[in-house]
Every structure is written in C-alpha cells, then in structure tokens.
Amino acid sequence: MSPRTMQLSKLSSFVCGAALLVACSGSNALSGAFDTTWQNDGGQSISSVQRELASASIPKGTGLALGVVKGGLVATTLSGKSWKYTGSVDARPKLSGDVVVATGDNQLFALDAGSGEKLWSISSGGRSLRGAGDDGTYTVASLGALNGGQSRLVVVKRGGSVILDAEPEPEIGTPAIVGGIAFVPWGNQYVSAIDVTTGAERGRLLMRQQVTHAENVGGELYFGESQLLRFDPKIGAAASGGGTLAALPKHDLPGTPRWFAPGAEVLSPSASAPDRIRLIAKPTGDGKFENDRMAATYFRVAMGFGASDGELRWAKLVDSDILGGAAAKGGFAFCTAKGEVLLVDSASGAKAGTLNLGSPVMSCEVQAGDFTVPSNAPERTLAEQLGEVIATKDPQMVPAQRFLLTKLGSMQDDSVTKVLIDLASNTDTPPALYEDARKLLAERRSGADFMLQALEREYDFLDDVLLPPPVGPLADALAAMKEQRAAGPLAHHLNDPSDTPDDIKRAAKALETLASADQFSDLKIFFALYRATASDDDIIAAVVSVAKAMLRVGGKEGEALVAEAAKDPLTNSEVQEALQGLKPPAAEKKPEEPAKKTASK
C-alpha cells in the first residue's frame, strides 16, 4: 500500500486567505515518507542523514517554565524573566529550543520562549497540538484531533511561511527538526527523516523500542518514549537493537511513572494524574544522565535517584502537586500546581532557588535548556527527608509514603527507628503505613535507645496518649538484639489492657528470654489475671510464654505457681494443656547429663 499523503496547498491557500494568516508562503507534498512498503535498510539511510547533519546544531534552548492558565499562558525563564500570553490554549503547549508552540482559537502559533512575543500564527485547521520541534530556523509541529486521528504535519519557517503542510495517514508523534530535516516518529517504530524543502523522506530509522517522540534534549536529538535513542554515529545499529540508548533504571515506583507521555496523543491543557507521576532525567550521551540523577514525582513529592545505581538519594516534599519538571545541569526544576517553580540541587535534593509563575496553573511544561541549577548543601539527612514525607497527612500520598517507608526501613541509622516508632504510635497514621511501620520496626536491629524510650509510654487518658507504643514489634526487635534493658518495660506492658493481644503475645515471647528475677512480680500478676480468663489465642500464647519465663526466673515460687495452675480445673484448658508440658529449665537440661539421665529413669 502506498502512503496516502495529501498535498495541502489548496487548504493552505484557503487558510491563508480566509484566516488572514501571517506570512503564508506555500507548502510541499511529502514524497515517499510514511511508505509502509519500506524495507529495512539496516540503518543505512538514517546513518547517511546523521553524517550529513553531523555538523548541524540545534539550540539548547531557553530554560523556561510554562504554565497553562484559564485564558492563556504564564511563563518564567529559569533565570527569572516572566511573561504572559493571553489567548485560548486548547492543548498542552510544547517547548523546543527557543520557541513555545501551541494551539488555540483554531490557530497554531509560536511564541518567543524568552519574551512571549508571537513569532507566527497559522490556522490549525481545527486540530490541536501533539508536539513540535524547532531548530532555530524551522519549526515542525504535529497536530491531530482531540480523540485521535487526523494527523497533520506542518513546517513553518521562522518568518511565518509554511514550508510543508501535509496530512500523513499514520498517526504521527512529536517531531523534531535539525538542519532542515524533520524527524517524524510514526507507527511506534519508525522515524522518518523528511527534507522540509522537498517533502522527500531522506532516511528512516527503525527502532526496536517504542518511539513516539523525537526530542531536542539540550541541543541533542533523541528518539523514543520509555527509552531514548541518541541520534549519533551509532544510529544505524538501531535497526538491530543497537545504538546509544539511554534507559532509566527499573524501579517499582509508586504509580508506575513514565518518562514521556505517548507522543502521538493530544494532551489536555489541564494536567491529569500521569502528569503528576513522572520520571524526569536528561540523557547526556553514552547511556548516561545529567548529574547521574533521575527524579520521580508523585503528586507532592519529588524523589531523586542515582541514574546508574537506582539508589534513592533524596526526597523533596512540596506544598502542591508537581505538574512538570526538567533535568538541568546541576539539578532539577519542578513546577507545581500553585505556580511555584522549585530549583533543586540534583546531588543533595536541597532547594537551590524558587521562581513563581504568578498564579496557580492547570498544567506546566519545563525546559531546562542551557540553564544551570546552583548547587546547595543538603538541608537534612535522607532519613529526615523521608521522615518528613512519610509523616505528611495526605491520603493521596500513601503509595509514595509506603515506597519511601520501605527505603527508610533499609537504612541502619538510629534516627530511622525513631521515625518508625512515631509512625506506629500516631493515631493519624494511615492504616497501611501503620502496618508497614510495625513490620519494619520488628525487623530493625538498631536504635535500641529509641525503642526503650518508646516502651516507657503507655496509654494515658489524662496525658492524651491515646495509642500505646508498638509493643509487639519493639519486643521482636529488642529480643532479637538480646537487649536485657527491655525486660522491665516489656513486663510492665503485659498488664496494660490497652495493648493489643498481639502486642502482649510478642512481649511475652520476648520475656521468655529477656526476663530476669526483677520481672517476676509483673509476670506473676499477668499469669494470675489470665491463666483462667484468657479468651483468645494471643493471650493464651502469652500466658504460656509467661509461664516459661516464670519457670526460668521465678525459682521455687514460679515452679509452684505454674504447677498449681497446670492442675487447677479452672485454668483455661488450652493453657492447662500447654502448662502440663512445661518443665523448669534445669529439669529440661537433666537428660543431657548421662549420669542423671540414668538416675531419672
């Protein structure tokens, strides 16, 4: 099947005349582009294009944060110059190089990124912007219907003359342009390199990864969507799975963030959930990333990871959803729903500056361009940063909080133990986080002093302590750490009815090994109170554990109490059965001594 491309000279003439467009000068037909009968040329044609463009350059672009607001656009360059545009915007605008491209009021228009001045405007033909690229001379844009279909490819010279205007049959993605060659992704696997002056396809890239974007990233060209392939001398190898690929480390991140939205879709001018859950990174060639960092956003938190090792390095909480961001040299720029632009040091996660768009925004696009984020020393330890995010009361944040809690749990700092205790002792902690915190606490082997401090607390109506400490997990951890100092507080908790039966069971279990004669009094009271009244499995298990502890530390009195309870018909039958199988530790050791073994027989 031959491609069905359509020369739009008639349409363009109509549009120029009817819509009083600026500087319409004509368009060209596509020739051979998007031909589905094309045969894989092993990367020859795209290599040839690469060689031809080796010396061509595209601008790194203006560092800019651009927000869509009701009635237009608000922007600030990352160096602090603000501008506004008043007019309708019907799709997400695109930043490329030194221009902003957008559609609205049936117009496709370009603005100067530094000043907001309109560069040109043509009819959008009722379609909305999917994506655009600019090389300093030409702007290429792809448009489509809001619900898909009706692809349109337009190339406009800086002065406003339409160089190419076509309606390719396949859905085309976000294009880029270098040295008068437009790179147009389509069919999820191809990028056609089209000479904008002739409309001819000069080469074609076949990718083995999903491709819906051709992007100018800091003056270099990349193709892809979830991974980016660099347009460099190795591009010819892409057909066989080679080339210089920039892939972010795989993570099980909250909300499954994506690096780029599908490039062949028209994005709403209002941000949606996927805009708030993003990966942000800037490839620098040879598969590496700027500052060796990648950021992941989840609503109000940005998390910084090592791009090569995937390790979490920082977490930054902001006061409204992060709608967009970009990686710059030295750091990241994040744009929030409140219209704040936060500059963050990529190494430390420290705030390196803030800018303001002047009003809340519906969506926000950021281009780092040639901007450098100043460096700043860490404000707090990573554990403290995670603690702050995790402690935030925002139900929407729970998946990110749970993720960060897992990271926090893997750190050995004593302060982490305190954060976990606070989470597990706070009535406001969401249930999922509460349970996670308890599990992680039980596994901790550091921060014993914080654990002991926590055990000093108990439910106290008058002092407004309305949630007891996480006694069970603390008991597990302290027993594993063989922390004798825990015996007293744990024994005391046995007789606190505000602790859950599960906590009591675990405290009693810990006391099997930790208790000394000093705790015999508490053990006796618990045993007396529950040997006959135990009504659930946890308390029954606790009574049996306490009996074992009493046999170990209670001497003759302990032995007598356990023996008496084992015979008493009023003792809970399950407890009684278990008690009948217990022997004092000394008696258990006897069989190990051969001489006494014989004697006992």
Contact residues for another protein, defined by CB under 8 A: 459-463, 495-498, 501, 525, 527-533, 535, 539, 561, 564-565, 567-570
Handedness of CA 47, 48, 54, 57 (dihedral sign): negative
Whose Cβ is closer to another protein: residue 321's or residue 502's? 502
Nearest to 332 by CA among 322, 88, 229, 311: 322
The single-letter DSSP state of residue 254 is: T
CB of 526 to another protein, least distance (A): 9
Give the C-alpha separation, 304 to 294, whole Å.
6
CB of 495 to another protein, least distance (A): 6
* Helix intervals (H) in 33-96: 44-52
Whose Cβ is closer to another protein: residue 11's or residue 525's? 525
Q: Coil, strand or helix: which one is 229? A: strand
Whose Cβ is closer to another protein: residue 362's or residue 465's? 465
Contacts of 135 (CB under 8 A, 6+ apart): 56, 58, 59, 97, 176, 177, 178, 179, 180, 216
Whose Cβ is closer to another protein: residue 257's or residue 468's? 468
Whose Cβ is closer to another protein: residue 171's or residue 522's? 522
Q: Are the CB atoms for 336 and 308 separated by under 8 Å?
A: no
Q: Return phi, psi of residue 390, to 5°.
A: -65, -30
Give the C-alpha separation, 170 to 227, whole Å.
22
Whose Cβ is closer to another protein: residue 402's or residue 457's? 457
CB of 590 to another protein, least distance (A): 28
CB of 504 to another protein, least distance (A): 9
Beta bridge partners of 75: 66, 83
CB of 364 to another protein, least distance (A): 47
Question: How far is the CA of 341 from the CAs of 122, 271, 306, 367, 553, in angstroms?
Answer: 31, 16, 23, 12, 64
Q: Are the CB atoms for 176 and 216 separated by under 8 Å?
A: yes
Give the C-alpha separation, 489 to 460, whole Å.
16
Give the C-alpha separation, 546 to 401, whole Å.
37
Beta bridge partners of 77: 64
* Residue owning tokens 């709403």: 268
Whose Cβ is closer to another protein: residue 497's or residue 594's? 497
CB of 482 to another protein, least distance (A): 29
Q: Are the CB atoms for 305 and 399 separated by under 8 Å?
A: no
Whose Cβ is closer to another protein: residue 90's or residue 538's? 538
Whose Cβ is closer to another protein: residue 495's or residue 516's? 495
Whose Cβ is closer to another protein: residue 334's or residue 526's? 526
Kindly report the three-state secondary structure assignment for every residue of 401-465.
HHHHHHHHHCCCCHHHHHHHHHHCCCCCCCHHHHHHHHHHHHHCCCCHHHHHHHHCCCCECCCCE
Whose Cβ is closer to another protein: residue 395's or residue 569's? 569
Q: Return phi, psi of residue 364, to 5°.
A: -150, 135
Question: How far is the CA of 537 from the CAs of 510, 531, 532, in angstroms?
Answer: 17, 12, 13
Whose Cβ is closer to another protein: residue 230's or residue 531's? 531
* Strand-strand pairing, 245-246 and 228-230: antiparallel
CB of 536 to another protein, least distance (A): 9
CB of 426 to another protein, least distance (A): 17
CB of 321 to another protein, least distance (A): 38
CB of 509 to another protein, least distance (A): 18
Per the structure block, which two tokens stand in for 10? Answer: 């008639």
What is the number of other CB atoms lying within 10 angstroms of the CB of residue 369? 25
Whose Cβ is closer to another protein: residue 216's or residue 571's? 571
Give the C-alpha separation, 182 to 230, whole Å.
16
CB of 539 to another protein, least distance (A): 7
Nearest to 77 by CA among 93, 61, 59: 61
CB of 503 to another protein, least distance (A): 12
Whose Cβ is closer to another protein: residue 340's or residue 499's? 499
Q: Are the CB atoms for 574 and 536 separated by under 8 Å?
A: no
CB of 418 to another protein, least distance (A): 25
What is the number of other CB atoms lying within 10 angstroms of the CB of residue 54? 11
Q: Return phi, psi of residue 278, to 5°.
A: -135, 160
CB of 461 to another protein, least distance (A): 5
CB of 535 to another protein, least distance (A): 8
Whose Cβ is closer to another protein: residue 224's or residue 489's? 489
